[in-house]
Chains A and B, each alone.
Chain A
Amino acid sequence: MGNHSDGSPNHSGTVATAGQNEVEKFQDPGIPPHRLRLADTDPKAAKRAERQVALLFGVSVVGTLIFLVAYFAIDLGADTSIATIRLQNALLGLGTAFAMLGIGTGIVHWAKALMPDHEVSEERHPIRTEEDRLAAVRIVDDIVEETGIKRRPLIRNTLLGAVALAPLPAIAVFGDLGPRPDQTLAHTMWAPQDGKLKRLTRDPDGTPIKAADVTIGSAFHVIPEGLNELPEGKLNAKAKAVVLLMRLDPASLNPSKGREDWSYNGIVAYSKICTHVGCPVALYEQQTHHLLCPCHQSTFDLTNECKVIFGPASRPLPQLPIAVDAEGYLVATSDFNEPVGPSYWERDEHERSIKS
C-alpha cells in the first residue's frame, strides 16, 4: 500500500491518540435520495406483483385444503402402518407449511413491492425529561408525607418486620414435598432378607442365574430376586440395585485384602450405577475389561476393582460380594459395602455406618 496511510496503529497521523478526538470528521450527508422501484413506475410491473401476491394467498388456500384432506381421509387405528402415519404427518405438515408460508410470503411481497418504501426519520425524545423528574419527586414527597411513615417509625418498623416474616409460611408449606433422606440411600434390595441371601436374576425377566451359565466374556444385566414382585417402589429399588455381572479369567482379577471372596471363579458383580452422576455404566468391553459410561465416558478398570481410569468419575464402582448357593445359583452374600450411585453430602457418614 506504498506510502499511503494504511491505518496501522503505529503509523503516525492515522490514529487519533488520547486528547486528539477533535479530528475533523466527515459530515453526515443525510438519508440517501429515494430510488423508485419497478412497480412504482411501470403499471405492468405493479399489476404483476399484485397477481403474484394473490397467487401466494391462493397457495395458502391449497395448503389448508391439503391439511383438511390429510386429516379426514387418513384415519389411524390399530392396524395403521408406520408408513401411513409418516404420510399423514408429512401431508399435515406440508399443508400447514403451504398455508402459513403462502400468507406470510404474500403479505411480505405485498409490503415490499406495492406499499410505499420511503424511509422515514423520526425524532427520538428523551426517555425522561427533567420536568417530569421534578414532578415525580414532588409527588413521591407528598405521598411519603401524607402517609407519615417518616414520622411514625413504630408503624414502619413493625410493618417491615411483618412483611419480612410473612413469606415464611409460604416456604414452610413446601415441607412435605418429600420425605427426609435419612438412611434410604445407604441400603439396597441386596441386603439378605430374614437370613436368606438374594439370588442374582436376569434383567428384565427375573430368571435366577447359575454360576455355570456365566461363560468367560459374557455380561449379564442383573436385578435382585423379588424385584419384579415388589408391590410398589419397583423403579426406586431398581435404581439402586442394578448390577452388571461378568466373568473374567480369575488370574486377571486383583482383589484387595478383604475382598478376595467377593467373586466366584472369576465371576464379579459391580453396581451399574455410575459414581459420577448415576447413569447406568453398562458398556462392557470384554477384551480390555473396561466398563464405560455412555453419558459422560467415565471408564472403569474391571481388573483393578473398577478404579476410574478415565473421565469425570472419581470413585470406583461399588462391588457386590457374591457366592454360589447349594443349587448352584449366584447369590449376594451381603448388601453393597458402601452407598451406590452418585456422591452426596452424607455419603461418607453412611459408608461409615454400613462398615461399622
Chain B
Amino acid sequence: MSAASRAEAPAFVATTKAGRITDFVDARVGGSGILREFGRKVFPDHWSFMFGEVALYSFVILLLSGTFLTFFFDPSMAETHYAGSYLPMKNVEMSVAYSSSLNISFDIRGGLFMRQVHHWAALLFVASIGVHMLRVFFTGAFRKPREMNWVVGSVLLILAMAAGFTGYSLPDDLLSGNGLRIIDGVIKSIPVVGTYISFFLFGGEFPGTAVIGRLYTLHILLVPALILLMIVLHLFMVVVHKHTQYPGPGRNDGNVVGYPLGPVYAAKAGGFFFIVFGVIALMAAFFTINPIWNYGPYDPSPVSAGTQPDWYIGFVDGALRLMPGVIGNFHFEYVIFGHTLTLNVLLPALVPAGILFTVMFMYPWIESWVTKDTREHHVLDRPRNAPTRTAIGVAGFVWYCVMWAAAGSDLIATNFHVSLNDVTYWLRTLFFVGPIIAFIVAKRVALALQRKDREIALHGRETGRIVRLPHGEFIEVHAPLDEYKRYKLVGFESPAPLPAVPNDHGVVTRKEKRRAFLSRWFFEDRVAPATPAELEAAHGHHGPAVEAAEESKSLSH
C-alpha cells in the first residue's frame, strides 16, 4: 500500500468530544482490535473460580495501603525515645522504625486503619492464594496445557510468603524481633555458609542496625516487583489457555461456556474488587491486627508468651516445635569433622517445606507420567471423580495442617486445658499418621460420593415424599432426573489402570513397571459412570413405584 492510497481511505470523523478523544487514542494504540478480540470473551461462572481474583484484588489493596504507609514509615534502627501520644510507651527507648510505626497508629489520622487494612489484606492475600491452589489441584486444572501456569502460581505463593515475612519484621517490635531471631537461628544452622549468610543479612551480629532497612527494600521494591511480573505472566497464560470449566451439559474440551466479558463478567469481576475491599475494610474497622503497641520495642531479653509468626509461616515454626532435639541418648546436634551440625534445626526447617514445595512444583508432571495422559484438559474433574488425586491432596493438606497446628501448640494447651507436652506428643504422632488416615478417609469418601452419584443418576433423587402402598408398605418416591442434571453426574471419564507397556526394544523397563504399579494404585479403586444401558435396565425391570419401594427397603436396613 502506498502512502497516497492510504491517505485516500475515507477517515472516520468522531462527532462528540469523548468520541474524538477515544478515536485519537484508538488510532494510536489499536484499541479497537483489542476490544474486538477480548470484549466478548467468554468466562465460565462458578464461585470457586473467584479465589484467584480475591488474591489479585488483595494485592492491589496491599499496593494502595502500602504506598500510604511508606510515606510515614522510617526503616531506621537508630535509637530514639518515644515522644508520641501513646502513654504506656512514653519516653521508652526504641528504634526509629518502631517509633514511626507507633506514630502511624496513634498520631496520623487513618494511619491505624491503613496499617490494619494492609495487614488483613496481606493475610487474606496468602490465604486466597492457598485456597485458589487447592481449588486448582482438586479439580485437576493444573493438567495440560496449564502446567507452567501452575508453576508460576506456586512461585507466586512463595513470593507472597516472602512479601509477608519481610513486612512482618518491619515494625521492629518485640514479636517480629523474636521472629527475626528465630530466622537467624535457622540460618546459622545451615552447614558451612550459615554463619556468613547470617552476618551478611544482619550486617554483622544479630540484631545489628541494618536488617530493617534491608528488609524494607526487599518488601517495597524487589518482592512486589517480582509478584507483579509473575501476575502478568499468570494472567497472560490465562488468556492464552482460556478458563477451565466444570463438567456439565454443553461443556466439553473444545468449548468454553459462560458469560461474555462485556458486560456481565466485567461487571461481576469489577464489582467483586469493591466487595473484597469492603470486606477487608470491615475487618480493619472492627478487629485489631498486630497490636505492636502491646509488644513493645525489640530487645533481645524479653519475649512474650504466644510468640508466633503470621499464619503462612506457621507450618515451618510448627515443624521446628515438633522436632525433638534429643531422642533417648541421641542428640540431633553433633560435631562432624570438627564442625557443628545441628540437625534438630536444619531438618524441620528445610525438609517438610522442601517436600511440600517440591511435590507441589512437580505434581503435574508426576501425575501425567503415571497416567500417561498427554491430552489437553479444559473440563475440570469433580474432586470425587479423581479419588486418588483428591486423597493425595487431602493427605498433603492434613500434613500441612498438623504442622500449622503445632505452631499454636501453646495456645491449644491453654485454651483446651490440656498439657502442652501432650499436645506436642499427639501432633508428633499425627505428623506421621495423619496424612495416611486422611488419604484413606478422603479416598473412601470420594468413592462413596461417586456411588451416590450413580444411584441418583440411575434411580432419581429422593423427594422426601413418603407414600403408603396398598399393601401397607411405606416408600419414598424418587423423582427421575432430567437429562441435563443426569449428564452432570455421568459425564466424566473414569480411566482404568494402564499396565506396563514394553518399549521399542520389547523390554518392559523397571521404570515402566514402577509406573504401571503407580497407575494401578492411582486408578484401581474406581466407580465407572452410569451408562444408558444401566439406566435402561433400572427402568426396564421394575416400574418406578416398585423401584422406589426397593430403594426405601434398602434404606431402612
| A280-B85 contact, Cβ under 8 Å, with A120-B260, A124-B255 | no
Chain A residues near B258 (CB, 8 Å)? 119-120
Contacting pair B195 A236 (CB below 8 A): no
Contacting pair B344 A276 (CB below 8 A): yes
Contacting pair A24 B531 (CB below 8 A): yes
- A32–B250 Cα distance when bound, in Å, is 8
| A92-B304 contact, Cβ under 8 Å, with A2-B553, A23-B528, A122-B41 | no
Contacting pair A1 B107 (CB below 8 A): no
From residue 269 to 301 of chain A, which have CB atoms closer than 8 A to chain B?
272-274, 276-280, 282-283, 294-298
| A115-B307 contact, Cβ under 8 Å, with A2-B553, A185-B195, A272-B301 | no
Question: CB within 8 A of A236: which of B116, B206, B529?
Answer: B206
Question: CB within 8 A of B303: which of A16, A102, A280, A344?
Answer: A280
| A282-B490 contact, Cβ under 8 Å, with A17-B496, A110-B267, A178-B201 | no
- Residue among A14, A30, A31, A92 having the largest count of chain B Cβ atoms under 10 Å: A92
Closest to A80 in B: B85
Cβ of B230 within 8 Å of any chain A Cβ, yes or no, is no
- A280–B533 Cα distance when bound, in Å, is 71
Contacting pair A88 B42 (CB below 8 A): no
Cβ of B502 within 8 Å of any chain A Cβ, yes or no, is no
Cβ of A78 within 8 Å of any chain B Cβ, yes or no, is yes
- Residue among A8, A102, A277 having the largest count of chain B Cβ atoms under 10 Å: A277
Cβ of B469 within 8 Å of any chain A Cβ, yes or no, is no
- A116–B267 Cα distance when bound, in Å, is 12
- A77–B108 Cα distance when bound, in Å, is 9
- Residue among A7, A98, A115, A233 having the largest count of chain B Cβ atoms under 10 Å: A7
Chain B residues near A295 (CB, 8 Å)? 178, 182, 303, 307
- A279–B321 Cα distance when bound, in Å, is 13
Chain A residues near B203 (CB, 8 Å)? 177-178
Closest to A309 in B: B326
Contacting pair B108 A76 (CB below 8 A): yes
Cβ of B499 within 8 Å of any chain A Cβ, yes or no, is yes
| A100-B275 contact, Cβ under 8 Å, with A26-B532, A122-B42, A276-B325 | yes
Closest to A273 in B: B300
Complex interface: stretch among B6-14, B128-136, B276-284, B363-371: B276-284
Cβ of A349 within 8 Å of any chain B Cβ, yes or no, is yes
- A344–B199 Cα distance when bound, in Å, is 12
The majority secondary structure among interface residues of chain A is: loop
Cβ of B101 within 8 Å of any chain A Cβ, yes or no, is no
| A221-B42 contact, Cβ under 8 Å, with A76-B109, A349-B339 | no
Cβ of A346 within 8 Å of any chain B Cβ, yes or no, is yes
- Residue among B145, B185, B207, B490 having the largest count of chain A Cβ atoms under 10 Å: B185
Cβ of B382 within 8 Å of any chain A Cβ, yes or no, is no
The 24 sampled A-B contact pairs (Cβ below 8 Å) are A5-B534, A7-B530, A17-B496, A26-B531, A76-B107, A88-B109, A92-B113, A96-B113, A96-B117, A97-B278, A97-B282, A107-B267, A108-B272, A112-B268, A120-B259, A123-B255, A178-B208, A283-B305, A312-B325, A315-B325, A341-B185, A345-B193, A345-B195, A348-B340
Given A5-B537, A104-B275: 14 more A-B contacts, CB < 8 Å: A9-B527, A18-B498, A88-B110, A96-B113, A100-B277, A101-B282, A107-B270, A122-B42, A185-B195, A242-B301, A279-B181, A295-B178, A297-B410, A345-B190
Q: State the A residues within 8 Å of B (CB).
A: 1-2, 4-9, 14-21, 23-26, 28-32, 71, 74-80, 85, 88-94, 96-108, 110-112, 115-117, 119-124, 127, 174, 177-181, 184-185, 203-204, 221, 223, 233-236, 238-240, 242, 272-274, 276-280, 282-283, 294-298, 308, 310-315, 341-349
